[in-house]
């Protein structure tokens, strides 16, 4: 997919990767970029800089996602690309207890990282099918393919997000509905800085603008996996080739992260 002349929705668009996507899509000639975020003020500021449209929404709530789709199509036009980008990170309260996150964190993580994608698909798949196609971009993280040391919620929900994206791509391939998953490792965002020492930084930290560049290339090539850190593919191949060896290696990496000084 080329972005020129397209109507694009980006959730979590007020900061980080989402803001970089909004700005880059605008430079690529998108007809309109809809900046969606919980923070209405920041969404409006980003939209103003790119001549876009701001909307406030909680992507974990089905009615909010449906409203974004309905208002966009009524006010701006038919959506060509929906980018489910909003995310959050809960680190395990007890680094040495994999199940230490409270139920509230699991629920919120599931709603934002999994159900947000489902809500978007429920709202848009019938519309895409009726008009002959459309596209989804799911920001997932390399954690969905590998793991996230120190966060059971993030690791689990991101794996589930990959599962739904695969199901969406398989089921609707013949409907000309394109699905891509964005799976970077460490990106210089507020989320990464708040997390502290992380295994995701082992291959270096890239900018949100570099991620946006990878997205533009990946969408143009209609790739399912968009990997701003190409090393992730090697790790995934090692994981599937010898799961037990990979688990042992991740345990060693976890010890390194645990012992790293702040």
Instruction: Report yes or no on 192 lying in a domain.
Output: yes
145-185 residue pLDDT tens: 999 999 999 999 999 999 999 999 999 999 999 999 999 99
Q: d(Cα 257, Cα 198) in Å, to the nearest integer?
A: 6
Instruction: Report yes or no on 137 lying in a domain.
Output: yes
Is residue 26 within 8 Å of residue 78, measured between CB atoms? no
219-255 residue pLDDT tens: 999 999 999 999 999 999 999 999 999 999 999 999 9
% pLDDT > 70, the chain: 94
In the predicted model, is pLDDT for residue 196 greater than 60? no
**Model confidence band, residue 24 (pLDDT cutoffs 50, 70, 90):** very high
What is the total count of domains within the chain? 1
Q: What is the CATH number of the domain that holds 166?
A: 3.40.50.720
Instruction: Report yes or no on 259 lying in a domain.
Output: no
- Structural domain including 98 reads 7-230
88-131 residue pLDDT tens: 999 999 999 999 999 999 999 999 999 999 999 999 999 999 99
40-59 residue pLDDT tens: 999 999 999 999 999 999 99
Instruction: Report yes or no on 258 lying in a domain.
Output: no
Label residues 182-211 b or e (16+ Cβ within 10 Å = b).
bbbbbbbbebbeebeebbbeeeebbebebb
Long-range contacts of 153-162 (CB under 8 A, 24+ apart): 153/90, 153/101, 153/105, 153/106, 153/109, 154/89, 154/90, 154/109, 154/113, 156/109, 157/109, 157/110, 157/112, 157/113, 157/114, 158/113, 160/110, 160/113, 160/114, 161/113, 161/114, 161/117
Q: d(Cα 94, Cα 46) in Å, to the nearest integer?
A: 37
Instruction: Report yes or no on 1 lying in a domain.
Output: no
Instruction: Report yes or no on 241 lying in a domain.
Output: no
Which pTM does this prediction carry?
Answer: 0.93
In the predicted model, is pLDDT for residue 213 greater than 70? yes
Instruction: Report yes or no on 2 lying in a domain.
Output: no
Catalytically active residues, by annotation: 154
Is residue 215 within 8 Å of residue 24, measured between CB atoms? yes
């Amino acid at each position: 997919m080329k972005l020129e002349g397209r109507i694009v929705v980006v959730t979590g668009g007020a900061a980080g990767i989402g803001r970089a996507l909004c700005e880059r899509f605008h430079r690529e000639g998108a007809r309109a970029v809809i900046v969606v975020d919980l923070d209405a003020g920041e969404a409006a500021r980003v939209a103003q800089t790119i001549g876009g449209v701001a909307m406030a929404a909680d992507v974990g709530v089905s009615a909010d996602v449906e409203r974004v789709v309905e208002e966009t199509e009524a006010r701006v036009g038919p959506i060509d690309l929906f980018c489910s980008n909003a995310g959050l990170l809960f680190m395990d309260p007890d680094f040495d207890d994999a199940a230490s996150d409270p139920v509230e964190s699991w629920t919120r993580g599931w709603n934002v990282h999994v159900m947000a994608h489902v809500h978007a698909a429920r709202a848009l798949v019938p519309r895409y099918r009726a008009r002959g196609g459309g596209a989804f971009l799911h920001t997932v993280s390399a954690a969905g393919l590998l793991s996230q040391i120190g966060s059971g919620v993030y690791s689990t929900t991101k794996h589930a997000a990959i599962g739904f994206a695969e199901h969406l791509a398989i089921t609707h391939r013949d409907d000309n509905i394109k699905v891509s998953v964005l799976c970077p490792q460490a990106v210089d965002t507020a989320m990464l800085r708040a997390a502290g020492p992380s295994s995701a930084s082992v291959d270096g930290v890239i900018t949100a603008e570099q991620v946006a560049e990878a997205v533009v290339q990946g969408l143009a090539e209609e790739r399912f996996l968009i990997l701003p850190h190409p090393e992730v593919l090697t790790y995934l191949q090692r994981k599937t080739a010898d799961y037990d060896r990979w688990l042992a290696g991740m345990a060693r990496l976890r010890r390194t992260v645990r012992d790293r000084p702040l």
